[in-house]
Amino acid sequence: MTDQAYNFAYLDEQTKRMIRRAILKGVAVPGYQVPFASREMPMPYGWGTGGVQVTAACLVPEDRLKVIDQGADDTTNAVSIRKFFQRTAGVAVTEATTAASIIQTRHRIPETPLHEGQILVYQVPIPEPLRFLEPRETETRKMHELEEYGLMHVKLYEDIARHGTIATSYAYPVKVEGRYVMDPSPIPKFDNPKLSDSPALQLFGAGREQRIYALPPYTQVVSLDFDDHPFDPSKAAHDCDLCGAAASYLDEVIIDDQGGRMFVCSDTDFCRGRREAGHVGALGVPLAEGGM
């Protein structure tokens, strides 16, 4: 049921128009960060206000919304954001990746491949990939203008010199259509290959930093690397202990006082789907026997 005290999807129409114009410019210049007049939302900055504003500007009553945090539908902040849109937009919600028309995410891209017509909205804390190399916006804007990305390569190369490998494991920078270096939000680098050539539209919202950017479907996205140190999206060599998946990103869970641990899919919908299809991991039990 929609809360009648607020406009559809909470934001007033003028704000939505402003955000929509920014989204369209973002789509027109893939990977470029469009400034927008981010509003103060009824949730804290840093908790998804950018993603929430982008989602609010995109939602139609017919949408089916999925919200995930760390890949899971039931983490508290995902629950909170999903509830916010149920209350203010009255939209249907789902946990099934394939059934969702809009997916708002923090830190993950779903394991299940996305399809045409879907929109994936990322919550972004620091949209500027060069920020930790150069704290000044006035400088980084100039660097993007001049395609001066040498500093980023120097940083990655220093990693190699020091550790023998690139020591960036999440928020791994990418280059979009050979032009803009972009921060993919703090997704694990394991997810980076899914950014490129996706059938879905990907929108990125950074509320506190007042930036929106986009990857239209089928956009070429390349993770930065070197010929002699190619990008490596690998993850820990474990299978999911619940569903046995070998190629999904895993959460590590400590299960007893002796430091015993197990690995489970971070994507809860993906894991449940596999278990419903009869897959069982090393520590799992078949769903039919009443296991979780």
Partner 1 sequence: MNSDALLGGFADTPVQSARAFRAALDALSRPGTIRVVEGATPPAPLSTAAGVLVLTLCDGTTPVHLAGAHDCPALRQWITFHTSAPLVDAAQATFAIGGWDALQPVARFASGTPDYPDRSATLIIEMPGLAAAGMRLSGPGIQSKARLSLPDVTAFKANRARFPLGFDCFLTAGSQLAGLPRASRVEDI
Partner 2 sequence: MYVAVKGGERAIDNAHAWQAEERRGDPAVAELALAQIREQLALAVNRVMAEGSLYDPDLAALAIKQARGDLIEAIFLIRAYRTTLPRLGASRPVATAQMAVIRRISATFKDLPGGQVLGPTFDYTHRLLDFKLAAEGAPVPVAATAPASLADVPHVMAFLNRDGLIEAEPAGDASPPDLTREPMELPASRALRLQAITRGDEGFILALAYSTQRGYGRTHAFVGELRIGCVAVELDIPELGFPVEIGEVELSECETVNQFTGSKTEPPQFTRGYGLVFGQSERKAISMSLVDRSLRWKELGEDCTGAPAQDEEFVLMHADNIQATGFLEHIKLPHYVDFQSELELVRKLRAEVLAAQEAAQ
Q: Which does 231 bind (CB under 5 to 8 A by kind): partner 2, partner 1, none?
A: none
Q: For residue 243, how far is the Cα from the chain centroid?
A: 23
Is 240 annotated as catalytic? yes
Map 78-118 to HEC letters.
HHHHHHHHHHHHCCEECCCHHHCCEEEEECCCCCCCCCCCC
Site for partner 1 in 229-288 (CB under 8 A): none
Q: Which does 75 bind (CB under 5 to 8 A by kind): partner 1, partner 2, none?
A: partner 2
Is 271 annotated as catalytic? yes
C-alpha to C-alpha distance for 133 and 6, rounded to whole angstroms: 41
C-alpha to C-alpha distance for 284 and 268, rounded to whole angstroms: 14
Nearer to partner 1 (CB atom), residue 72 or residue 215: 215
- The site string for partner 1 over 158-197 (x = CB under 8 A, - otherwise) reads -------------------x-xx-----------------
C-alpha to C-alpha distance for 113 and 162, rounded to whole angstroms: 36
In the complex, minimum distance from the CB of residue 172 to partner 1, in angstroms, rounded to a whole number: 21
Q: Tokens 């203008």 map to which residue?
A: 145
Is 58 annotated as catalytic? no
Indicate which residue of 205, 271, 273, 284 is catalytic. Answer: 271
Is 46 annotated as catalytic? no
In the complex, minimum distance from the CB of residue 10 to partner 2, in angstroms, rounded to a whole number: 8
- The site string for partner 1 over 73-112 (x = CB under 8 A, - otherwise) reads ----------------------------------------
Catalytic positions, written as ranges: 31, 240, 243, 265, 271
- Interface ranges with partner 1 (CB under 8 A): 7-9, 13-14, 16-18, 20-30, 32, 34-35, 57-61, 116-117, 141-142, 144-145, 177, 179-180, 199, 201, 214-220
